Structure 1
């Protein structure tokens, strides 16, 4: 099964790098064609909406098809859609054409993401799950960190169309790697229940299991709190609180991603210790991220903000990997993809709503209060875990 995991992380590497390059390329094309900030903002909006919609309907697919089959088909269709996009851009400059394809690609991503994550415990031994999740996390965060920088350089040297052609190559490699994954988990089609029951199955699994419900309470709190890291809020914080140039937003963002990568390496290095002391690690990191967020909101020194951003990334990553691994161990192979699809809907919805509210509050009060509020919410989450940690046995 070691080779299957290698094929999985390599496919994720090229798929994620392609996803970043494809957005960079489209932003470049749209900017040079219209210079419209609104049109560029539609890209992440459509991406979020598409993923949320497909995550809602994902259980219907999980009951009928194998996870590997869904991964290969979804990535293959994404490749075809991208081919249509690059060819279509030769003959048309219609933004409607571009946004329709972006939306359909997002629909496929919303299906592939829970399927790919749920596939990990099927192809990796349970004793190696924490290491596997750490490796995938390092791959994902490194891709995000390097992808935007490399994509920006390439688009400056070449153009947006070249970047999208390069993405097409990455998608083809990713699809081929997925085809070599071997999943021997027995599969039985489950279509005896009603569609309504199928669609709500993931939500019911989360609600009926006390430990799953506790994890997702913490995930929701984190999704709401993390809106302070979005570009619009951080830009205001850098200008109005730290009183430095906007380039510091890039520094803080970069250091945050470096912290995520370091957190992944820490989990890999100390996997046996973390597995043996899951509750202690989650409790410590839960209080740590709350404290760091509170201090970040009160801080007005730019260099200190960099250090706090790094620490937040490290602690948040460790907590996320450990909790995610625990969920993979406790949920059955049949339950896990449905739990992940419901999780995607919940966290995306809460993050989207919280982003809108944060934007409104930022216009009414000093932005540092948003960070303090986020820190207090994370503190509530940490206290909550300290009270219910007996559920995590």
Structure 2
């Protein structure tokens, strides 16, 4: 009897990350409402995502030091348990102090929680290849993870707003603590298969680097970055991720609202329709990739390039369109192409480096992408004010098509067998 393609530990990983993402959405919504009620300042509320992004960027940078000392399931357990305990502290503090609670204390706890959360996505994506038993299962696993991420984003923000409105912000924090507790509990079921290569490498590294701890730490911190630069396939894929992140920031709420008002001549209700259609499209896209996993087979590169071509072209048409219903259909169609590109690119990255080095590579990429996203928000906002919102979306489409051309130009790198087994 053949072993299942997706193992039981994978489903525990999938469940714990879905629960953790749902808890994140709930507590961000509840805290945003609390901060707005207390200060009436959008700037204060906007500090929340900025703090989270900065903490996750810092966490991603030092994650290799933790990865070299602990197994990935242990890291996830520490992260989820730490966030659960810190969140209980936050909820109790807010309950006891009410309107007298210090925003500095609240933001400090948010920063520390986000720091703990910073290594969960690299650890999760690095664990996925270790918890599937067949190459085809990798694409299926990535599709399931992407679908759950998008469902939480799509349904979570709307439902969390309703929950906060119905039971209040403080009760929502109690519910969030329960969800965080579930996420931590499910983490206990994630068991990483024994890997003799990992143990041997760790022992050898400890012997070689014991005399000079400072050099050892610097080597560990930079190992993933060096591998990305040295391996052509990883370098190309990382560049494509960076370009996607530069253009992808145009779907942030403020930009989509400006486009709806200026280009489509509609009000805030159409802003909601556009957001809902975009997330619905990405959920449908993830399910489509899951259904087509057997058809795609190992043709990850072709699928990724088709996704990029479709997404870039539809974004350009969307930018030039002035009809609301047409815009709605275009955004809905973008989702499947975006997911086809993202899921297959993630799968290619996972297959471009050994399982031992993958967490360090993903940590380096996560740090870079957090930084690029922050920069992109500022740059795109300036470009929108100077050249107009329509030209900003055209630029985003151009960036995606540029990444497509780079992928086509670097076609040989994707078929280099050595690139697929790089171990640094």
The interval holding the TM-score normalised by the smaller chain is: over 0.9
Q: Distance in 1 between matches of 2:384 and 2:392?
A: 7
Q: Distance in 1 between matches of 2:181 and 2:128?
A: 21
- The match for 1:230 among 252, 257, 276 is 252
In structure 2, the CA distance between the partners of 1:323 and 1:185, relative to structure 1 (3 Å rule), is farther
Shift of 1:287: 1.2
- The match for 1:95 among 81, 85, 103 is 103
Contact in 2 for aligned 1:51/1:110 (Cα 8 Å): yes
- The match for 2:127 among 100, 106, 119 is 119
1:388 and 2:424 matched: no
Q: Distance in 2 between matches of 1:324 and 1:140?
A: 14
Shift of 1:365: 2.1
Residue 364 of structure 1 aligns to a residue in which SS? Answer: helix
Shift of 1:390: 2.2
Q: How is 1:111-190 mapped onto 2 (pairs within 5 angstroms)? A: 111-125=119-133, 126-186=135-195, 187-188=198-199, 189=202, 190=205
Q: Distance in 2 between matches of 1:333 and 1:271?
A: 22
Shift of 1:283: 2.0
Shift of 1:216: 0.8
Contact in 2 for aligned 1:28/1:159 (Cα 8 Å): no
- The match for 2:115 among 107, 118, 137 is 107
Q: Distance in 2 between matches of 1:161 and 1:364?
A: 42
Shift of 1:320: 0.7
Q: Distance in 2 between matches of 1:149 and 1:242?
A: 23
Residue 86 of structure 1 aligns to a residue in which SS? Answer: helix
Q: Which runs of 5+ in 2 are unaligned?
A: 1-5, 210-214, 416-424
Deviations, residues 129-153 of structure 1 (Å, cap 9, x unaligned): 1001111111111011111111111
Q: Distance in 2 between matches of 1:325 and 1:238?
A: 34
Deviations, residues 24-79 of structure 1 (Å, cap 9, x unaligned): 11011112222210111001000100000000000001111100000001100000
Q: Which runs of 5+ in 1 are unaligned?
A: none
1:44 and 2:44 matched: no
Contact in 1 for aligned 2:307/2:339 (Cα 8 Å): no
Structure 1 vs Structure 2 CA RMSD: 1.2
Runs of 4+ in 1 over 4 A off after TM superposition: none
Residue 267 of structure 2 aligns to a residue in which SS? Answer: coil
Shift of 1:383: 1.2
1:246 and 2:254 matched: no
Contact in 2 for aligned 1:256/1:310 (Cα 8 Å): yes
TM-score, normalised by the number of residues in structure 1: 0.97
1:331 and 2:336 matched: no
Contact in 2 for aligned 1:274/1:322 (Cα 8 Å): no
Q: How is 1:6-45 mapped onto 2 (pairs within 5 angstroms)? A: 6-45=11-50
